């Protein structure tokens, strides 16, 4: 399935030797001094020895680190951080003047989770002085990355093998194909360049779109982009509500071209979607032809197979039978509305089961919080590591390092260097895929401000 999905990839911008953030480091297996268990007990060491404070600051400062004369020296201090402390104590509106201030606070308070919020018009710790004001002088969010959140549990209503009961092996292809679809759409349809995909540490994935054009969008603009990708609109009467038209929008056609081979070769057999009556009946609900549905029921219930599909996985062979019967029904149907419904129903089945199910509310508002990359998930102990979207099918959530594993690798290394742990692979991937290009663009924007200032002085 990985080869199938890889054929849908964009043309790579540059070669990358590393498969993913959890590639083996080649170091000998460390002694297990640190055990899996209470994650909070390990956070002090993690934040003190491994967490990439400098990388996080370089990202979130967007060039405003005080080194350039046109940098906004107060930009970083207007960013909201939210700490979840031991005992699920939720502390919002934290802010820091610089990298050192942020690092000191994280090491001192050892949050079990760090969420990143928007950049406000004033320091969020001083919000009380502006809360009663109106208009531009009121406390308000002015900048925030465009973010997307996909949770594997949102697919439970259509899956036989769910994440909570059966693990990632049968579920990750759905996340990988979601990354492919959204990444291409955001880049090709909206022209965004600076995207970073991150494993949430437990049940899903996050996407941060960090182009300046994305960061300054209004809530209405964010909502429009989120809606553009929200084909799946929930369920009604046992079927998914889908925004599909005939003919298909070009973005929907592109998504279908990515989805279809994975649906046929991977998702159908791994989820056993046409294996039994219990699983095939929800599929047949999408077909607007009772006679056709009954014909398929009788054939599948008897166990008969076409000679053309002998030796093939039963789910794949039954899907091929379904599509052949639909093609015959379309060719003999003269009613235009029924014909359109028959043409559309095959796509509806694929999209209902496999199209990305976005938590749209996360994307719509500038003031929404989202968990920071490189955090530790408090339930699993896993690191929120970046994912290469061009190799999403190779990412294995089960091999993502835990905080205990990283500390054991650190303990086994010579000199206790965090770069001897698998965290180095994660940070390098973050830098290569995302941060280096963003830093270059930040520098160009500051240079352009300088040129504009010089030109204005000359003109004056």
Residues assigned a catalytic role: 80, 149, 151
- Residue 414 burial by CB count (10 A; 0-12/13-18/19+): exposed, middle or buried? exposed
Q: Compute the distance between CA of residue 146 and CA of residue 365 in angstroms, rounded to an integer.
A: 9
Contact 163, 203 (CB under 8 A): yes
d(CA 409, CA 353): 40
Are 341 and 288 in contact by the 8 Å Cβ rule? The answer is yes
Query: How far is residue 29's CA from residue 20's CA, in Å, rounded to a whole number?
Result: 20
CA-based torsion, 337, 342, 343, 345: positive or negative = positive
CA distance 416 to 324: 62
The answer to whether residues 450 and 70 touch, using CB atoms and an 8 Å cutoff, is: yes
Q: How far apart are CA 246 and CA 249, in angstroms?
A: 8
d(CA 252, CA 133): 45
Give the up-direction half-sphere exposure of residue 15: CA atoms within 13 A in the CB hemisphere.
Answer: 1
Q: Give the Cα separation of 155 and 134 in Å (integer).
A: 43
Residues 6 or more apart whose CB falls under 8 angstroms from that of 247 comprise: none
C-alpha to C-alpha distance for 355 and 336, rounded to whole angstroms: 27
| Cβ atoms 34, 408 nearer than 8 A | yes
Beta-carbon contacts of 327 under 8 Å, excluding residues fewer than 6 positions away, are none
Collapse the DSSP code of 21 into the 3-class scheme (helix H, G, I; strand E, B; otherwise coil) and give the result: coil
Q: Using CB atoms within 10 A of its CB, is residue 170 exposed (0-12), middle (13-18) or buried (19+)? A: buried
């Amino acid at each position: 399935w990985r080869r199938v999905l890889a054929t849908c990839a964009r043309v790579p911008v540059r070669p990358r030797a590393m498969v993913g953030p959890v590639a083996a480091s080649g170091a000998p297996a460390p002694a297990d001094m640190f055990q899996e268990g209470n994650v909070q007990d390990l956070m002090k060491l993690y934040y003190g020895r491994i967490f990439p404070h400098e990388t996080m600051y370089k990202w979130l400062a967007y060039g405003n680190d005080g080194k350039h004369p046109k940098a906004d020296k107060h930009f970083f201090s207007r960013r909201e951080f939210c700490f979840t402390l031991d005992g699920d104590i939720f502390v919002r509106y934290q802010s820091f003047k610089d990298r050192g201030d942020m690092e000191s606070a994280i090491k001192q308070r050892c949050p079990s989770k760090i969420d990143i919020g928007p950049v406000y018009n004033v320091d969020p710790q001083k919000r009380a002085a502006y809360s009663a004001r109106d208009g531009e002088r009121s406390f308000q969010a002015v900048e925030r990355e465009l973010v997307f959140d996909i949770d594997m549990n949102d697919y439970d209503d259509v899956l036989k093998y769910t994440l909570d009961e059966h693990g990632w092996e049968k579920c990750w292809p759905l996340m990988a194909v979601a990354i492919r679809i959204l990444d291409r759409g955001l880049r090709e349809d909206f022209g965004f360049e600076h995207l970073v995909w991150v494993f949430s540490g437990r049940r899903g994935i996050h996407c941060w779109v960090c182009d300046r054009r994305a960061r300054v969008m209004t809530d209405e603009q964010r909502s429009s982009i989120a809606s553009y990708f929200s084909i799946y609109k929930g369920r009604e009467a046992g079927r998914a509500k889908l925004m599909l038209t005939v003919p298909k929008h070009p973005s929907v056609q592109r998504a279908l071209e990515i989805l279809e081979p994975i649906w046929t070769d991977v998702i159908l057999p791994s989820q056993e979607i046409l294996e039994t009556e219990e699983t095939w009946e929800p599929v047949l609900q999408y077909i607007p032809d009772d006679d056709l549905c009954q014909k398929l029921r009788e054939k599948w219930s008897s166990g008969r197979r076409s000679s053309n599909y002998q030796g093939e996985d039963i789910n794949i062979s039954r899907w091929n039978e379904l599509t052949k019967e639909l093609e015959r029904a379309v060719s003999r149907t003269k009613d235009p509305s029924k014909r359109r419904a028959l043409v559309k129903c095959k796509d509806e089945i694929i999209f209902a089961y496999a199209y990305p199910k976005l938590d749209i509310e996360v994307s719509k508002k500038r003031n929404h919080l989202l968990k920071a990359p490189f955090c530790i998930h408090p339930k699993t102990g896993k690191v929120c590591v970046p994912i290469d979207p061009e190799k999403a099918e190779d990412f294995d959530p089960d091999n993502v390092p835990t905080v205990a594993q990283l500390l054991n690798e650190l303990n086994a290394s010579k000199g206790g260097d965090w770069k001897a742990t698998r965290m180095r692979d994660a940070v390098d991937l973050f830098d290569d895929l995302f941060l280096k290009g963003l830093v270059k663009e930040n520098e160009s924007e500051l240079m352009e401000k300088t040129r504009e200032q010089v030109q204005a002085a000359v003109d004056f």
